[in-house]
Amino acid sequence: MTPLAYLTADLPGIGGRIKDKVDDFLVEELPLYPLSGSGTHVYFKVRKAGLPTPAAVARIARHMGVRPDAIGVAGMKDAQAVTTQMMSLEHADLHRLRAFRDSQVQLSVEALHGNKLRAGLLAGNRFQVRIRGVGELQLEPARRILTVLERRGCPNYFGLQRFGARSDTGDLGRCLVRNDLEEFVRIFLGRSHPDDPPDCRSARDAFDAGFYQRAMDCWPRHFADQRKALAAYKRKHRPVQAVMAVDKRMKRLFVSAFQSELFNAVQQRRVQTLDRLLGGDLAQIHASGACFRVEDPVAEQSRSERFEISPTGPILGYRSSLAEGEAGTIEHAVLDEAGIAPDDFRHVGSLKIKGSRRPLRFRLENVELTAGEDARGPYLQLAFSAAAGCYATVALRELMKTPELG
């Protein structure tokens, strides 16, 4: 993927490493509302280590004897971290829930509430990250970068994890939006990568060579979507059948990754002016989430400087509103380069993607930076809170400026 531009390009990064161990990266979900204490939905706090949220949900669901989608979650949390988040289950057997035991997942029952916890129902996240391989000498350079990010805001890029371990989820989404199903199948089932696990690499190489049964034998059982797509493709060699076999939620994730790529492309072009309003901008009011079209950027700029409002970029869909004027020229240039228009998202197979807007920056709140040392050596520890949907790794890449963070 093309490296993304830094807001603080004029300030050297401090280097270092993150996620040497999962307990170097802590995430705690911040609730959107207090629990009522009454209702049919049991809310419980889940602490997991080294495990993605869907895997934790699957283990709890298996123990409770329910489908994974019966368990409500507000957001997906990093696998390579120790994370704490709320989940919910209606009519849960409290005795059975409290009896859950797992080496990577611990839970505690919190309270009852009147509705299921759904995606997006969180205020944000609190992060605490230890950056290894650096120490007290890097405190001042780090503070200079953080001062800029706190004053102007942090670029609201989607982080690398949005695009999957193979960095191809956006490509798969682009294929779905363009209805290029042949290319989708080639990427989804073939084109091995050196970093693929050996069995997956063998499966992809066999598919590319036309040995479909050998590919099926190589795919691990837990790659269920690949196996289903391959089984469908084997029968008639029709890409449409293979794509139909892929879980709808997975296809939505691919389209979302493509939307994220387009947003990042707009963000990239505006990163040095992410706090400056342009004529025709669609600005978001942070307190309410509502957007309005900026008619007089000079008159509104003071609100941006107080972080009351921010310019936004498109999460493209068929109902997307695009900016006008100077801001619109940037957005249309990105879409023209991609060969995409909002109406292309109206019928993506069985999906209809409406679209939305996303601020071009987010605020780092309650920032704490300290130096320390433990048995693993010196480190800097950064803690901060950020709104839901914002990536801690994007703030860390500004601070560290290492290739691993994109």
- In this structure, are residues 260 and 249 in contact, taking their beta carbons and an 8 Å threshold? no
Return all residues near 385 (Cβ < 8 A) that are at least 6 apart: 30, 124, 125, 126, 127, 364, 365, 366
Beta bridge pairs of residue 29: 125
User: Active site includes 78?
Assistant: yes
3-state secondary structure of 317: coil
Nearest to 229 by CA among 193, 204, 205: 204
Distance, CA of 45 to CA of 354 (rounded, Å): 32
Distance, CA of 196 to CA of 204 (rounded, Å): 9
- In this structure, are residues 369 and 379 in contact, taking their beta carbons and an 8 Å threshold? no
Instruction: Determine phi and psi for 215, rounding to 5 degrees.
Output: -60, -45
Counting beta carbons within 10 angstroms of the beta carbon of residue 12, is it exposed (0 to 12), middle (13 to 18) or buried (19 or more)?
Answer: exposed
Provide the total of helices (H) and of strands (E) in the chain, helices listed first.
Answer: 13, 14
Instruction: Determine phi and psi for 78, rounding to 5 degrees.
Output: -55, 140
How long is the chain?
406
Distance, CA of 239 to CA of 349 (rounded, Å): 13
Distance, CA of 247 to CA of 146 (rounded, Å): 41
Distance, CA of 22 to CA of 355 (rounded, Å): 34
Q: Measured between alpha carbons, how far is residue 188 from residues 163, 167, 197, 202, 227 in Å?
A: 13, 12, 15, 14, 11
Distance, CA of 76 to CA of 101 (rounded, Å): 21
What is the chain's alpha carbon radius of gyration, rounded to the nearest angstrom? 23
Helix (H) or strand (E) holding 236: helix 224-236
Q: Which member of 78, 168, 171, 281 is catalytic?
A: 78
DSSP state of 118: -
Tell me the catalytic residues.
78
